Amino acid sequence: MAAKKPISTRAKAPTIRDVARVANVSIGTASKALNANGRLSTDTREKIKRVALEIGYRPNDLAQSLHRSKSMTVGVITNDSFGRFSFPIFEALEERLAAEGIAVFMCNATDDPARERQHLDQLLGKRIDGIVVTARRTDNRPPIGPLPVGLPVVYVFTHADEDDALSLLPDDESGAFMATQHLTALGRKRIVHITGPDRFEAVRLRIQGYRRALKDQGLNEQIHHGPWSEAWGRQAVDKLFSGEAPKPDALFCGNDQIARGVVEALRDLGIGVPRDVAVVGFDNWEVMTEAARPPITSIDMNLKALGREAGERLIAMISGQKIRGAKRMPCSLVIRKSCGASAENSSEV
């Protein structure tokens, strides 16, 4: 293995001319050998390839992409500066695309339209074959653009506000339905939903799923909105479990941070989880769910599957397929002790 040399002004990369000179053949012969065309003896071909390897010659993708219709690059534009949701999506997307030899330009627009435009211009200048847009989700986002006609774009974990766009999203409604149905199946009757701000599309969809599951069983709803924080979960419990009103026997939380606060506050009050109150969260963020006492049952949005699917769709679109609309991908229920399902109503308190 060649040791890395002290850094100096960058040396010129060897060209096919250098390969020809060192191998003592014409440039035409070197080209035939390296591009695997024309007629050459196997010996000559192998010798030239060996020389190319030795002097560090690499075929120039840039030159090649001028002669192909594809640059074998795509751009990802993210607005999620936090990265907790976009990173697993990106990871799976990149893995899927790398398997096709497609490299990924990653740009962080941090919710700044001017930066987004600047990134887009830069990406278009590099003749990318497609774009993936991912974002924190509050509400539908405006379509990215203007773009060259026919350039494939996939929106993932964000809902593009345009009929012709393809958006890939977790199925929040059915995830929340699954969580609530799980609680009703365990015999819980007074299931309260403690969730995030109403301006999030995901919050509104999760409420729909919660409502549908309760309706199926003829149960009443009770919904409380607050910030996405542990402190809000604790505060909600303090409110719900003081006073004379009948107490909930289950809490379905809009995310795992709220659920973590809920579990801690119930513990402080000496209320058994899941014995007295079953708790289910959303996101399956293991940092939160595994460390809680008891560990929290949660809904997993399968972000890696979402990222893989985004890669799959983008590849299909680059190959000429037309795909549009909002596609919702299934969530899963991850059972831990807080719901009482596997632990037969045993309490961890």
**Which amino acid is residue 304, in one-letter code?**
K
Site string for a second copy, 215-254 (x = CB under 8 A): --------------xxx-----------------------
Quick one: which of 305, 318, 339, 341 contacts a second copy (CB under 8 A)? Answer: 318
How many C-beta neighbours within 10 Å does residue 346 have?
12
Q: Confirm if 77 and 132 have CB atoms less than 8 A apart.
A: yes
Distance CA 134, CA 148 (A): 20
CA distance 281 to 261: 11
Q: Is 9 in the site for a second copy (CB under 8 A)?
A: yes
Regarding 271 and contact with a second copy (CB under 8 A), the answer is no
CB closer to a second copy, 47 vs 115: 115
CB of 339 to a second copy, least distance (A): 20
Site string for a second copy, 188-207 (x = CB under 8 A): --------------------
Please report whether residue 10 would count as binding a second copy according to CB under 8 A: yes
User: What is residue 337's three-state secondary structure?
Assistant: helix
The nearer residue to a second copy, 103 or 185, going by C-beta atoms, is 103
How far the first Cα of the chain sits from its last, in Å, is 58
Q: CB 346 → a second copy: shortest distance, Å? A: 19
Q: By CB under 8 A, how many residues form the interface with a second copy? A: 84
Residue 322 interacts with a second copy (CB under 8 A): yes or no: yes
Q: Which residue has the tokens 């990173």?
A: 87
Structure tokens, 23: 């191998």
Query: For a second copy, which is the closer residue by CB, 129 or 309?
Result: 129
127 binds a second copy per the rule CB under 8 A: yes
Cβ 158 to a second copy, closest distance in Å? 15
Distance from C-alpha of 161 to C-alpha of 165, rounded to nearest angstrom: 8
Alpha helix ranges (H) inside the chain: 16-23, 27-34, 42-55, 61-67, 86-98, 113-125, 172-185, 201-216, 230-240, 256-268, 286-289, 303-318
Among 18, 21, 49, 61, binds a second copy (CB under 8 A): 61
126 is a contact residue toward a second copy (CB under 8 A): yes
The minimum distance between CB 294 and a second copy, in angstroms, equals 12
Is residue 108 within a helix (H) or strand (E), and if so which, with residue range? strand 103-108
Part of the chain binding a second copy (CB under 8 A), chosen from 24-32, 148-156, 181-189, 210-218: 148-156
Using CB under 8 A as the binding rule, whether residue 56 contacts a second copy is answered as yes
Q: Does 124 bind a second copy (CB under 8 A)?
A: yes
Per CB under 8 A, does 53 bind a second copy?
A: no
Which H helix or E strand runs over 134? strand 131-134
191-195 and 250-253 as β-strands: parallel, antiparallel, unpaired? parallel
Which member of 38, 59, 325, 330 binds a second copy (CB under 8 A)? Answer: 59
Decide if residue 115 touches a second copy (CB under 8 A). Answer: yes
> Which residues within the stretch 62-101 sit at the binding site for a second copy (CB under 8 A)?
62-63, 65-66, 69, 71, 73, 76, 81-84, 87-88, 90-91, 94-95, 98, 101
Which CB sits closer to a second copy, 201 or 264?
264
CA distance 257 to 237: 13
Nearer to a second copy by Cβ, of 142 and 218: the residue is: 142
251, β-bridge pairs: 192, 279
Window of 26-34, 107-115, 192-200, 210-218 that interacts with a second copy by CB under 8 A: 107-115
DSSP character string of 149-188 = TT--EEEESS-BSSTTSEEEEE-HHHHHHHHHHHHHHTT-
Cβ proximity of 252 and 172 under 8 Å: no
